[in-house]
Amino acid sequence: MRNVVSALLIILALVVSAVAGPALWLQKNVIEQAGFVQLAGPLGSNKSFQEGLSSVVASQATASIDLPPQLNELATTLIQNTARSIYSEPGYDQAWTDTLQRSHALTFAAAGNKDIQGDLQLDIAPLVALIATKAGNTAGVELPTPKDVVVALEQPELARLLPAATTLGGWGIWLVVLAVGLLAAGIFAARRRSLTLILAGAGFAVVALIWLFASGIVASVLQNMATGPEAAKQFGVELGALAQSSWQGGITTSFAFAAVLVLAGVGALIVKRRHTT
């Protein structure tokens, strides 16, 4: 009976752990703004993404900046040229960080409001303001910029998942605590604890393999779902790749934990056999 109870507890621990890992990752890298900014930050220096972003920022800046009629053609040319060289500007890194922060807040505000149709959105107003300042200084005039410049990524399906992801992420730490408790109880209840440790380690290795396989599927799904403007598509594709790379840390940790359990079980088994001989 003890072996059956132990096996059930270990299996439950593995199932809960399989959910707890992604939940923690979601909370840290998607739900929390600082984590999202850190995750998506490298996109700002991605050369291929910068090319698409330049086009979007230039078109949005031209359309949204209140240009004096007599300077319209000149300012438009300046804006387009400035957009292509914005990445070397001293204020670019901060503008990109501000863009990610505003975009995160805007997207999650929509996701939490049932009265509106949510979507994943980029608010590139900080980048537009940076371009306007540079172009205005070159032309010798001040170019007023709007408070918000929103570009929809046209991903309502993903946006609809955000409330559920937020809930799951909030439960992440509690799921970890539950998994640890179930694992400890399962080992404590076992008659042959050394063997139980080995089997539990093998189980966690399987969980890590499932995560590894699933991360590739998720990245592929994000790439296939990418729609909308070219820069928006590229944002989704590159962010999916960054997310997959980020999750490798969780997979490695799980493999390491599995190895520790197996080694502990093998060590306990060796010690036990020495005592009996």
User: What is the rounded distance in angstroms from the CA atom of residue 138 to the CA atom of residue 241?
Assistant: 38
What integer best gives the mean pLDDT of the chain? 83
pLDDT band at 25 (very low <50, low <70, confident <90, very high): very high
User: What is the rounded distance in angstroms from the CA atom of residue 144 to the CA atom of residue 123?
Assistant: 17
pLDDT tens profile 160-193:
778 888 889 999 999 999 999 999 999 998 888 8
DSSP assignment string, 127-143: HHHHHHHHHHHHHTS--
pLDDT at 235: 77
User: What is the rounded distance in angstroms from the CA atom of residue 99 to the CA atom of residue 233?
Assistant: 17
| Cα of 83 vs its chain's centroid, Å | 27
pLDDT at 180: 94
The reported pTM is 0.84
pLDDT tens profile 214-239:
888 877 776 665 556 666 677 777 88
Residue 140 has phi, psi (to 5 degrees) of 80, 20
Average pLDDT on 34-53 reads: 87
Judge residue 19's burial from the number of C-beta atoms within 10 Å of its C-beta, 0-12 exposed, 13-18 middle, 19 or more buried: middle
**AA identity, residue 245:** S
pLDDT tens profile 5-24:
888 999 999 999 999 999 99
pLDDT band at 202 (very low <50, low <70, confident <90, very high): very high
Weakest-pLDDT range from 129-133, 224-228, 240-244, 251-255: 224-228
User: What is the rounded distance in angstroms from the CA atom of residue 258 to the CA atom of residue 159?
Assistant: 35
pLDDT beyond 60 at 118: no
User: What is the rounded distance in angstroms from the CA atom of residue 147 to the CA atom of residue 30?
Assistant: 25
